[in-house]
Structure 1
Amino acid sequence: MRSLLLPFTLISALVLIPTCSCAMMNNNGPNHNSSLAITTTSSLLTYHKGPLLTGPKSINVYLIWYGLFSPMQKSTITSFLASFNPISHQSPSVSTWWKATQAYKDLRGRTVSSTVRLAGQASDIKSSLGKTLKRADIAVLVRRAISSKVFGVDPNGVYLVLTSQDVTVERFCMGSCGFHDNLAVSPRVRVVYAHVGDPATQCPSLCAWPFAAPAYGPPGQPVLRAPNGIGTDGMVMNIATLLAGAATNPFKNGYFQGDPLAPLEAVTACPGVFGAGAYPGYPGKLFVSATSKASFNAYGAGGKVFLLPAIWDLVSMSCKSLT
């Protein structure tokens, strides 16, 4: 770890946590009529003929930790990003979830990259731009990290800014749990960046459901136990959502439906769906740890488990979940 002139600290190590023993059982949820299952608000995501983040190169994620995060938060999120490697993970896995993006192809028939990896990390623990940010400040942080050579220029990268629970970002928790966009770093090169905040204290009901009671919706549905903490698991779900959206619609002319400034994308086209039989207020059938009683649907690196949202599957033309 080394300090730079700019308020970033470069992190070189990927931290994994020890393997845990997790006996599982199915969560069948309440009895319900299958006709009530959630359907996407779109019957088709339209391809607008723009570039995607395609293989054979991996999608490289560059993390900027803005504010203070606990070691457990960092290890969980970096373990999640390590989980896209399909080697030695129990099924269903994070890499299994990502396979749904392989149906998304560009004009040349190239698919979204099958691999995602953590390529670099930097910390701004002093919150150098303050604790109340505009969305434009997220681009400033990314541009600064690139111009100072903390990170290189990577057209197949996603520069991901994560903000701690005491940092507010414009529109976060106001109908949004994060966003992705792109910016020019040279006359010929644009890069993709994204933001996800920690919702633990600001809006768990919006950005960490089903691990927090919803502010609105059907009463009486149980709140599920989070495997890694409400805020952290909320961030993981939203990072997954943004990575899928950024890969399939990186420059606002890829796969989406509706307004390009507020589009339905690969995951946001399947709101509230995490498992089979989902319907409004019920996330669907999930696994439940026999020991921790936490709900999840994907195994990951370092013995971690995660809850990941459904992806719109271009093959079956439906929301595809892991359970």
Structure 2
Amino acid sequence: MASFVLQFVPQLVVLISLFHLSMAARNLEQLVQDQTSSTLRYHNGPLLYGKISVNLIWYGQFKPAQRSIVSDFISSLPAFSSSKPSVAGWWKTTEKYYRLAAKTRKLSSLPSLSLGKQILDESYSMGKSLSEAQIKQLAAKGGQSNAVNVVLTASDVTVDGFCMSRCGTHGYSRSSKSHKFAYIWVGNSETQCPGQCAWPFHQPIYGPQSPPLVAPNGDVGIDGMVINLASLLAGTATNPFGNGFYQGATDAPLEAASACPGVYGKGAYPGYAGDLLVDPATGASYNAHGTNGRKYLVPALFDPATSSCSTLV
């Protein structure tokens, strides 16, 4: 089954949020400028709709506090927040894709995401080195109808391609009843490659060397996972089965978040995430409020109405 990869390019490490980047020879500044002048084409395929449970499959050892950072993020997607800007406000940008798709395809409804069940696999049932096929097996443990199953691997788990070419994946598989279900995999890069998959909360290995930002929830690995998960969720909603909204080749698509690499706030440029909010108590950088008083950093999304990267701040 198809899968779409959240890749990085070592020479351009600030492009953390790229899926199948195939233009590594171009510099970051050129890439950002080109993407904001482009349009993600709709390929007339189905999008996610209706009530969708986001099920979390925790593979390996995660502390309860780490799990709550991610689960609170998922709970923040549909939640109204009196604190602006919010995660829910960021997610609403995806609705613009649905309005565009509705012009050529009948859509039942917008997707309504909610936190589903959480499955703990703390015994490393498949070992500490996983293949893509094993990721799909783990994803199948979640609900296989009206669901997005998210596999989160601990910092001591290696996955094929992790840190060498990718930070995460989204794709789809089929259940025993031949239903399609969407899945996402994101790895905790804290000890394996934080300079590649947890930027801007860690000094990059290559590229412009600006000081790392303070992670809003005090955990470089998990806050980095949230950034990658947010990117992949946006891609899953708008291109769940490989024939939704994307630009470029089918095996190297730029999607809603990956079309805006390295951009988190206004004024972003290579090595600089943009003008962000700063928590005066902790010095942490963020651009979105979530539930339970959480603060998060979420990537810019490509706005199809303006053909530009839309940021919350």
Matches within 5 A, 1:36-185: 38-41=32-35, 43-54=38-49, 57-105=50-98, 106=101, 107-110=104-107, 113=110, 115-143=112-140, 145=141, 151-154=142-145, 156-185=146-175
* Partner AA of 2:92 in structure 1: K
Separation in structure 2 between the aligned mates of residue 212 and residue 137 of structure 1, nearest angstrom:
29
RMSD between aligned residues: 1.9
TM-score by length of 2: 0.85
In structure 1, distance between residues paired with 2:121 and 2:186: 15
Cα contact 2:81–2:290 (8 A) shared by 1: no
Rounded to whole Å, the distance in 2 between the matches of 1:112 and 1:84 is 17
Residue 310 (structure 2) aligns with: 320
Matched, 1:273 2:266: no
Trace 1:297-316 onto structure 2 (pairs within 5 A).
297-316=287-306
Say which is worse superposed, 186-195 or 175-184, in terms of deviation. 186-195
Deviation at 1:261, TM superposition (A): 2.0
Residue correspondence of structure 1 range 236-247 to structure 2 within 5 A: 236-247=226-237
Structure 1 position 305, deviation (Å): 0.1
Select the structure of larger CA radius of gyration: 1
User: What is the match of residue 225 of structure 1?
Assistant: 214
Is the contact between residue 76 and residue 291 of structure 2 (CA under 8 Å) also seen in structure 1?
A: yes
Write out per-residue CA displacement over residues 117-151 of structure 1, whole angstroms, 9 at most, x where no aligned residue.
111110110010000001111111123x2xxxxx4
Normalising to structure 1: TM-score of the pair?
0.82
Among residues 243, 248, 271, which one is paired with 1:253 in the alignment?
243
**Deviation (angstroms), 1:111:** 8.3
Q: What whole-Å deviation, never above 9, does each CA across 1:180-202 have from its counterpart, x for those lacking one?
A: 11111145411111100101111
Identity value in percent:
47
Contact 1:256 1:265 in 2 (8 A): yes
Residue by residue over 1:87-117, the C-alpha shift from the partner in whole angstroms, topping out at 9 and shown as x without a partner, is 2441100000001101112343538735321
- Contact 1:40–1:271, Cα closer than 8 Å, also in 2: no
Which residues of structure 2 form unaligned runs of 5+?
Answer: 1-28
Distance in 2 (CA, whole Å) between partners of 1:238 and 1:112 is 26
By how many angstroms is 1:71 displaced? Answer: 1.2
- Judge conservation of contact 1:244–1:266 (CA < 8 Å) in 2: yes
Question: How far apart, in 2, do the equivalents of 1:164 and 1:62 lie?
Answer: 17
Aligned length: 279
Q: Does the residue aligned with 1:74 lie in a helix, a strand or coil? A: helix
